[in-house]
Amino acid sequence: MFFRFAAAMSLVVLISLIGTALDKETFALRRRVSQQQYRLETLTERHARFRAQAQRLGTPVRWLNDLDEQRATLERIAQPPPDRSAKTPLLNWTAPPAETVLR
């Protein structure tokens, strides 16, 4: 009779230990998923911020304002692309890079 009781108690303890291990693994996986969701939200916000900054810095309106205020000058491209040179010679002008403008 003692052996049946010991076997039953061992079985109950074994089942509870397995359940505890599964709960621990479930919580670890949930934690990893929530961390990944946080990283995704952070990266999405950074992407939106960088897109807005790129649009703000790269707009032709900004270049035109700089040209109007004579903070930027137009420079001829060293060698125009061969396919555009015959068709649109006036489009071979460009503003200098931002580093040279800010000096």
pLDDT for residue 7: 94
- Local confidence band at 50 (pLDDT 50, 70, 90 cut-offs): confident
Assessment of whether the complete model's pTM goes beyond 0.75:
no
| Domain residue extents for the chain | 1-58, 71-103
Over range 19-36, report the average pLDDT.
Answer: 96
Which stretch of 5-9, 11-15, 55-59 has the lowest confidence by average pLDDT?
55-59
pLDDT at position 58 over 90: no
Give the chain's mean pLDDT. 78
Q: Would you state the pLDDT for residue 90?
A: 57
What are the angstrom distances between the C-alpha of 1 and each of 5, 6, 9, 13, 53?
6, 9, 12, 18, 78
Phi/psi region, residue 35 (left: phi>0; alpha: psi -120 to 50; beta: rest), is: alpha
